[in-house]
Amino acid sequence: MTHRILVTGGAGYLGSTMVPALLDAGHHVTVLDNFMYRQNSLSHVCHHPRFNVVRGDIRMEAVIKPLLKNVDIVIPLAALVGAPLCSRDPVGATTTNHDAIVSMLKLLSKEQIVLMPTTNSAYGTGDKNNFCTEESPLRPISQYAIEKVKVEQELMQHPNAISFRLATVFGMSPRMRIDLLVNDFVYRAVYDRFVVLFEGMFKRNYVHVRDVTRAFMHAIDKYAAMKGQIYNVGLSDANVSKKELCQAIQKHVPDFVFLDAPVGKDPDQRNYIVSNAKIEGTGFKPMFSLDTGIQELLKGFIMIKNSVYGNV
């Protein structure tokens, strides 16, 4: 069955991988994006007759309201993503990550479906064993996580919604992000050959960007059984510490050196082990391992280097 789908922020890191897959599956896809990074990450699907794109700001009702009238499913990806960006622009983060979503939910009919990414960073440091399921208490640390928790509470009041608490995403995407932890560490291994770790034993969960797309498409196919629920989405065999991540990278870059800092504190105090058993119980299994992602990134970073102000 095909659907009419609106993807806000569809030209971003997640969306520029997800949108082509949705089109390939036969859906009609409209993307709303403000193109704040001047990206052209969806240029390769502009030929597609079932693709439409709108430049605009999701915070403006005059922009979002007419787009909502003609869709069956909304995938709200538009956000200021990550703690550092939200700290730099806290007002923009609140209006985009929270207020715009709450306003959008009020404009939807009860029949329209919302599939939304939230974050498992909401678990903070987990319980005394750092172990988290969807039923675990939420202890968000950053503004980004706090806003996502508030939005999820509003989201789950909608009768046709699913929340995906995403693990830390990694992998190559047409709108690349180097600041995500796995991507960042692999980039440093390629170009710096070293990284200094603060609290290197802190653990978190990871998921490949293409498996995020697969989780959303799985939910569309299994919607009747999954609706109204919250799901962690990550690799069950990738609850690893920063040190273990570096060791995994070192297998492919033998001269990569990592050191645990004897002093100092990581401003990101997330430290948790996440269970993904609930979504796996619906039949979803990730395809892309952490090791596969590292190898992919090593190839990708041959093509990408941040050297705007350098001579080499």
Give domain limits for the chain.
4-171+206-234
Contact (Cβ atoms closer than 8 angstroms) between residue 96 and residue 78: yes
**Residues present in the chain in total:** 312
d(CA 285, CA 148): 25
Task: Please compute, for residue 71, the number of CA atoms within 13 A of its CA located in the half-sphere on the CB side.
Answer: 27
Q: Kindly state the helix (H) or strand (E) to which residue 114 belongs, with its residue range.
A: strand 113-119
List per-residue pLDDT tens for the chain, 312 residues long. Answer: 899 999 999 999 999 999 999 999 999 999 999 999 999 999 999 999 999 999 999 999 999 999 999 999 999 999 888 778 888 888 988 998 899 999 999 999 999 999 999 988 888 875 567 899 999 988 888 888 888 899 999 999 999 999 999 999 999 999 999 999 999 999 999 999 999 998 889 999 999 999 999 999 999 999 999 999 999 999 999 999 999 999 999 999 999 999 988 777 776 677 889 999 999 999 999 999 999 999 999 999 999 998 777 766
The string of pLDDT tens digits covering residues 228-249 is: 999 999 999 999 999 999 999 9
CATH 3.40.50.1820 fits 4-171+206-234, yes or no: no
Task: Give the model's pLDDT for residue 171.
Answer: 98
* Maximal CA-CA distance, the chain: 57
The string of pLDDT tens digits covering residues 135-163 is: 998 888 888 888 889 999 999 999 999 99
